[in-house]
A and B are shown apart, each in its own frame.
Chain A
């Protein structure tokens, strides 16, 4: 298997819901469970021998079936994902785990159990704070999910199996982070589009198989000539962004996305899970509540999130930050309001963009990014000479 093959598989897994790797997994009798939000500990599924699949709405062109359940003031991400489920595009799932990550996604659970007959459907209760009592709550909630998986799928998730799964997921995180850190270079080995493909594919493929492919990609990146000819180094901050085409439009205007803080991006892997704790469920709870970079949903953690963004801006020599938000998302609206004020005070150019889940309004997006790049040109000290469009 070459890196070229790995890139092809990653692209394929990113641009559709199902993929041949899932087909092969299912053909061998493997189970697949979908899950919403990166706060669900997918290590549990791996430990149970189940393929965890991060829910998306990829390929959706309409929400007409979901609109009988949701309304126009609901985020288009769950509407498209649920529409895909109603169309049967998620029939390969043997289970679905939802979580109260936001007001829109949490209602997918309620509507799913009304409309679909997936054998196993569960909703997790994620705390809103990052303190020790919340770690305790989430520990017990993870234990409840573990017990339900064991009961539903007839498997025992032993401590050893969970330790092994955590080690596997950590190995993936380490390689993803290594790939990201190579992007600190003046000539990053991959584009933002490729980085997102790597990350999304990591939520859609059997994890051991994904690790093999990732190793190929990282190995190739170590000696890649790198990308040049860009006008500015950009960082994307935001939530549910799983569409590389969105990043492509940004990069086509001449900006190179060198890092991010998004739900499918660096926040997934910047920190590793503790492998030493004798209680791996406690390790998971601590990691998801306190240790991994948080999202705006976690109250009281905004200073740490801002520090995380600032650190990445410095580490990756970012010229400007693009803050993307899905329409009707209260969490990212207010977070971007605060982050924007803070970064502007630091002198860091900041552009807030609202978007729909399905790529649309691309003309406006191009115009706004072009204007942003022009504005950066006036403020940044690290503008590259002789810049050419990456397109």
Chain B
């Protein structure tokens, strides 16, 4: 099908990303054993997601732009292809052009203190570098920047014909809040039915939720393995990757459950063999068990996370997105399902769980995770976009003090290594470990 230049431009970077994932899949297939298969399946899932969206654009099929932690089981049940509007900064974080795109956001007038993960999608939308969907749905938390991204979408001329529905999560977490949000989710379904031609079948939704229940049960089992000393895995593959697969790409899909099943098997094999996360040199041992209380870094991840393990024996045993407090959904009837989805989205899903409401989940998670995972130190990286969390850093510090576990707040950009250089971050971490007598 011949596409207009505007449409071609909107999908170009998706085609590039798709092709890159195809290459990475081929590389992963060369890795032997279950762990190789684990990575291969992950890239198969990412590749399929990209291919689906490219196919929708090229062939004028309905698809939507969505947002993370917004009850993705609903999209799966309706069979609506979707992409997460913020995914490119994460998935293409190692692409050489990302830093120049960050610069371009500043030149647009978006300043330097707006979260980079929000600035980039605004840039892509404003520059026509994101596929224009049939409809868009959003979630108006976890931060102030999120509703602003939604409003840029509404304001943009290229997206002016795209109908948009954004779910409004309340600030509280009681029964009234969950019930209200369940109604918001129902309104989102009505909106999607109206604008995409896809319909909701409650039996299909039940199947999907039962599948995602199986996924989350497996994830919880897997996280039990990470309590072992040494932890079978560190910064990869159980944290952010597990989140992305379960919430952004294959929610309620049997492929997702299969991936977690394999993840569990890989972790179990390592535990049985007494093998920790750090491999490649017999002198590298797990010496510090870290709770990294945020998303892991992206663009500069390769310069930092392996260094943590190899230089200090510091293993990220748990991070914000690897934590799995997901409660299972009661699939008795439509009301219980929507209630369960609302509760999962509001109270369980990472970042929404901590940043949407009052600060108690920051301290509650620390109180739970530190003893459960035998954590030696908590690092709040202080991403420049996570302003509510930074305003809770005093609360986190006091909680850690009560628990007797060292706490470090750095202040950095999880995407842009020019905000705080990797060397400076390493210095801060090294001083912290040394000062606290760790490692």
Contacts and interface: CB of A to CB of B under 8 A. Distances in A.
B113 A328 contact: yes
Most chain-B Cβ atoms within 10 A of its Cβ — which of A69, A71, A72, A354?
A71
A331 interface: yes
Contacts of B141: 128
A310 interface: no
A244 interface: no
Contacts of A140: 176
Contacts of A72: 411
Contact of A133 (B111, B164, B184, B409): B184
Contacts, number: 147
B170 interface: yes
Given A70-B394, A127-B168, A299-B147, A110 B359 contact: yes
Contact of A334 (B152, B392, B398): B152
A111 B113 contact: no
Given A73-B411, A109-B358, A133-B187, A334 B148 contact: yes
Most chain-B Cβ atoms within 10 A of its Cβ — which of A78, A103, A137?
A103
Interface stretch (A260-268, A276-284, A335-343): A335-343
Interface in B165-208: 166, 168, 170-172, 176-177, 180, 183-184, 187
Most chain-A Cβ atoms within 10 A of its Cβ — which of B144, B164, B409?
B144
A314 interface: no
Nearest to B149: A334
Contact of A137 (B140, B148, B180): B180
Interface string A209-221: 0000000000000
B151 interface: yes
Interface in B343-402: 355, 358-360, 382, 384, 387-388, 390-395, 398
Contact of B151 (A106, A125, A302, A340): A302
B16 interface: no
Interface string B207-247: 00000000000000000000000000000000000000000
Interface size class for chain A? Answer: 35 or more
B394 A111 contact: yes
Interface in B143-157: 143-145, 147-152, 154-155
B143 A110 contact: no
B108 interface: yes
Contacts of A103: 143-144, 355, 387-388, 391
Given A125-B172, A330-B145, A111 B395 contact: yes
B390 A125 contact: no
Interface string A279-307: 00000000000000000110110100000
Interface residues of B, number: 51
Contacts of B115: 330
A114 interface: yes
A352 B111 CA distance: 11
Interface string A55-83: 00000000000001111111100100000
A297 B144 CA distance: 7
B425 interface: no
Interface in A72-104: 72-75, 78, 100, 102-104
A140 B166 CA distance: 21
Contacts of B398: 114
A327 B110 contact: no
A128 B149 CA distance: 13
B342 interface: no
A128 B358 contact: no
B145 A73 contact: no
Nearest to A306: B155
Contact of A123 (B149, B176, B358): B358
Nearest to A66: B394
A134 B411 CA distance: 36
B411 A299 contact: no
Given A72-B411, A73-B390, A107 B359 contact: yes
Given A110-B358, A334-B110, A334-B145, A73 B168 contact: no
Given A100-B171, A125-B171, A331 B140 contact: no
A71 B393 contact: yes
A326 to B, nearest CB: 11
Contacts of A13: none
Most chain-A Cβ atoms within 10 A of its Cβ — which of B149, B152, B168, B395?
B168
B110 A333 contact: yes
A127 B111 contact: no
A106 B358 CA distance: 8
Contact of A300 (B149, B166, B170, B394): B166
Interface string B87-113: 000000000000000000000111101
Interface in B105-143: 108-111, 113-115, 118, 122, 140-141, 143
Given A296-B148, A300-B151, A333-B113, A129 B166 contact: yes
Contacts of B149: 334
Given A104-B388, A107-B388, A125-B177, A114 B395 contact: yes
Contacts of B390: 70-71, 73-74
A340 to B, nearest CB: 7
A300 B166 CA distance: 9
B152 A338 contact: yes
A334 B184 CA distance: 25
Contact of B108 (A70, A127, A337): A337
Contact of B155 (A114, A302, A354): A302
Interface string A115-153: 000000001111111000110010010000000000000
A328 B387 contact: yes
B168 A69 contact: no
Contacts of A297: 144, 147
B155 A71 contact: no
A300 B148 CA distance: 10
Contacts of A331: 144, 147-148
B148 A74 contact: no
Interface string A250-274: 0000000000000000000000000
A338 B387 contact: no
26 contacts: A69-B394, A70-B391, A71-B391, A71-B393, A74-B387, A103-B387, A103-B388, A104-B387, A106-B171, A107-B392, A124-B171, A125-B177, A126-B171, A127-B168, A128-B140, A128-B141, A129-B168, A133-B168, A299-B147, A299-B166, A328-B113, A331-B144, A334-B122, A334-B148, A334-B151, A352-B109
Interface of A: 68-75, 78, 100, 102-104, 106-107, 109-111, 114, 123-129, 133-134, 137, 140, 296-297, 299-300, 302, 327-331, 333-335, 337-338, 340, 352, 354
**Nearest 5 Cβ contacts at the A-B interface:** A107-B391, A125-B171, A334-B148, A69-B394, A110-B359
Given A126-B171, A337-B109, 9 more contacts: A69-B394, A70-B393, A107-B392, A110-B360, A300-B166, A302-B155, A333-B114, A334-B114, A340-B109
